[in-house]
Amino acid sequence: MRLKKSHVVSGVLALALLGATGTAWYFALQARTPAQRAEETAEPEDSVITVRVDQEQLISTLEFEAAFNRTGDFEVPAPKAPDGIETALASKIPLKVGDEVKAGTVLLEVSGRPMIALEGAVPAYRDLTEGDTGPDVEQLQLALQQLYGTPKTGTFDARTIADVKKLYDNLGYDHATTSEEIPDETGGEEDTTGGEEDTAGDGGTENTGGGQTTTVERVTVPASEVVFLPDLPMQVSKINAQQSAPIPAEGGVMVLASGDWKLEAKLDEETASELTKLGDEAELEFGDGPMEGQEVGAFELEVREEAAESDEGMYPEEGEEQTQEVTYAVFAFEADKVEGLDELAPGEEQEVLLVLARSAEDALIVPLSALWTDAEDRTMLTVVDDEGKERQVEVDVTLRHDGRGVVQPVEGELAEGDEVVIAWRDRENA
């Protein structure tokens, strides 16, 4: 369609009018009176940040962490890789720290095979196979006796075989077997093969040139699949194995704990020094943790030799000092007063507070950031009254703790509720 000349002219005029209107609105919005411009460009007024003076008691404390643990530890050694597997992997970690371990508990799955906890004083030192005899077979039977009533005979007999199968079935694993070639004792048939190999497929019977043998499967308990523990039940204290990672060739895969509970703290040099200096006069309180609010009983300091560590947390290089003395504080406590003690995991932390000093109950307390030093090296506070006027008060600081200080006025007056300056902004530094 062809536009007429009059239409084009009308459109141009409309656009021009719209542009002129927008320009007018823009300049109108940008316009400011001289008073408005002066107000917007004026320097900010002086301002101060103040806090009120408190009147209460300030207690200076030194905080450190103690931990609940058991008196007995057992390190579960790393197992060898299952037959036919070059590298043993932690294919499943069914436990976590704090879990109970009892007879029949699977501690760890290694390349698909279980490590089963059983009670016994002697570690497994050989694979046990049906027909074996000895004290280690008796130990296996006594361990199974707790679960299935297995009689102790000293021989890996039919009942022991049945109960071993039951143990593995209940845990969801196939029992282990081993193959063995034994002489064929059927003995009633004459050899008509002329000494040649039997090719008829007789189901496992082999002609060896003079006598026949048969392959049999025997039930076995690999030494790598049972962990005999001297005291059950126990509790998982630490897990060193990592999911889907290779099992270390040396060291333990986990640590199990048993026995009575103990509460002890590994002390740094400052805390050890303070507790040694104060001795029985030390004032201690329990903070966050299972013992919170309870009275701290007697404690003893023990100095122990431990492997030395460098600043980076690594053990020292060969030739350097390998041990160091570490001070521990061991606390006496009544186990029946610890709420939920049976549910604690070894390593549960308990905060301990060592009281170093206490102020009067009505002490005047200010933030340490409010203190400043004048040209005469006096400690000062700046107090602001209701009208915004400032005055300086000289003070002595008698106690400092956690960013606060107890002050006593030396010259000038100071009272609870007074506003003291902790920061200010002026025109020069705004």
Q: For residue 403, is pLDDT > 80?
A: yes
The pLDDT value recorded for residue 192 is 44
Q: Map residue 180 onto helix, strand or coil.
A: strand
8 A C-beta contact, residue 365 and residue 402: no
Say if residue 212's pLDDT is above 90.
no
Separation of alpha carbons 75 and 272, rounded Å: 29
Question: What does the pLDDT average to over 25-42?
Answer: 54
Predicted confidence at residue 13, as pLDDT, reads 45
Tell me, what's the pLDDT at 197?
42
Q: Which one is the CATH code of 48-58+360-425: 3.30.70.1230, 3.40.50.2000, 2.40.420.20, 1.10.3720.10?
A: 2.40.420.20
At 83 the pLDDT is 74
Question: Residue 45 — very low, low, confident or very high, per pLDDT cuts 50/70/90?
Answer: low
DSSP secondary structure letters along 282-309:
-EEEE-SSTTTTSPP--EEEEEEEEE--
Give me the residue spans of the domains in the chain. 48-58+360-425, 74-181+212-256, 260-358
Q: Read off the pLDDT of each residue in 313-320 and give the average, rounded to a whole number.
A: 55
Question: Predicted confidence band at 210 (pLDDT cuts at 50, 70, 90)?
Answer: low
Q: Would you place residue 155 in the very low, low, confident or very high pLDDT band (cuts 50, 70, 90)? A: very high
**Mean of the pLDDT values across residues 117-122?**
96
Torsion of CA 96, 97, 98, 104, to 10 degrees: 50
- Tens digit of each residue's pLDDT (9 = 90 or more) over 162-198: 999 999 999 999 999 998 888 876 654 444 444 444 4
Residue 254 confidence (pLDDT) above 80: yes
pLDDT grade for 111, boundaries at 50, 70 and 90: very high
Q: What is the pLDDT of residue 337?
A: 82
Residue 250 · residue 139 · CB < 8 Å: no
Q: Which pLDDT does position 47 carry in this prediction?
A: 80
**pLDDT at position 250, please?**
74
| Residue of 255, 224, 245, 239 lying closest to 81 (CA atoms) | 224
The answer on pLDDT for 367 being more than 70 is yes
Residue 196 pLDDT:
43
Indicate left, alpha or beta for 413 from its phi (over 0: left) and psi (-120 to 50: alpha): beta
243-270 mean pLDDT: 91
Spatial contact of 368 and 407, defined as CB atoms under 8 Å apart: no
Q: Check residue 184 and give its pLDDT.
A: 74
The pLDDT assigned to 342 comes to 78
> What's the whole-number mean pLDDT along residues 304-330?
75
**Which amino acid is it at 268?**
D
Question: How many residues are recorded in the chain?
Answer: 430
- How far apart are alpha carbons 382 and 416 in whole angstroms? 14
- The mean pLDDT value of the chain amounts to 84
Determine the average pLDDT of the residues in 274-298.
93
Predicted local distance difference test score (pLDDT) of residue 195: 42
**Mean pLDDT within 52-62:** 96
Higher-confidence residue of 346 and 203: namely 346
So what's the pLDDT on residue 329? 97
What pLDDT is stored for residue 82 in this prediction?
75
Write the secondary structure of 361-409 as one string of H (helix), E (strand) and C (coil).
Answer: CCEEEEEHHHCEECCCCCEEEEEECCCCCEEEEEEEEEEEECCEEEEEE
Over 90: is that where the pLDDT of 136 sits? yes
Task: Tell me the percentage of the chain whose pLDDT exceeds 70.
Answer: 79
pLDDT at position 257 over 50 = yes
pTM: 0.65
pLDDT at 319: 54
